[in-house]
Amino acid sequence: MHPQFSVYIATSLDGFIARTDGNIGWLYNFDDMSDPNEDYGYAAFTAQIDCMVMGRGSFDTVQAFDDWPYEGKRVIILSNSLKKAPSGYEDKIEICTGSPAELAQQLYKKGLRHIYLDGGKVIQSFLSAGLVDDMIITQLPILIGAGLPLFGDVADDITLKLDWSRTYKNGFVQSRYEVTKH
């Protein structure tokens, strides 16, 4: 038994989640981004999840933010290099390590049933292990040419079923996929 693993992430049209140096400023440079009534389904998505599990690479970016964006949410950082939470984050994060299959068991034993999986390398490793159940991907109308990819090599084809797709006035195209075969 393992938790449901769901992805909610934004990419450039050419498939990158960040520039090569990790910069994500381009994600926020679109019309309507300041509309407080439009959250691109984020609140509805996060209302369903028990916990966020993100890679250390993504955590590095979040540490540079002025405010902790996950107040009130349980957050687990996957890292082999971080041995304890950095100063100021002791009550905000837990650190876990292991293969995706081991982590899935660990998380299930912690009572977690629905996980928000975040970070490109983390998503790729869980996809390869056949553990990702569904993905909401928002494609932004921009080509950035190079960067950190959402997807990578796969040993075998992974087939997806499109659940729904919707467009926003500013050109965002958001689609929900279920992973049907690994």
Binding footprint of ligand NAP on the chain (CB under 6 A):
9-10, 17-18, 22, 24, 27, 54-58, 61, 78-82, 97-100, 103, 118-122, 125, 148
* Cβ atoms of residues 71 and 93 within 8 Å: no
* Shortest distance in whole angstroms from residue 130 CB to ligand NAP: 14
> Which residue, 168, 145, 158, is CA-closest to 12?
145
Specify the residue, 10 or 180, whose C-beta has the smaller distance to ligand NAP. 10
* Shortest distance in whole angstroms from residue 116 CB to ligand NAP: 10
Specify the residue, 155 or 180, whose C-beta has the smaller distance to ligand NAP. 155
Nearest residue (beta carbon) to ligand NAP: 55
* Shortest distance in whole angstroms from residue 36 CB to ligand NAP: 19
- Cα 85 to chain centroid, rounded: 20
Specify the residue, 40 or 179, whose C-beta has the smaller distance to ligand NAP. 40
* Shortest distance in whole angstroms from residue 28 CB to ligand NAP: 10
Specify the residue, 38 or 180, whose C-beta has the smaller distance to ligand NAP. 38
- Burial pattern 28-53, b for ≥16 Cβ within 10 A else e, equals eeeeeeeeeeeebeeeebeeebbbbb
Residues 6+ away with beta carbon under 8 Å from 141: 13, 30, 170, 171, 172, 173
Q: How far apart are CA 45 and CA 8, in angstroms?
A: 8
Specify the residue, 29 or 180, whose C-beta has the smaller distance to ligand NAP. 29
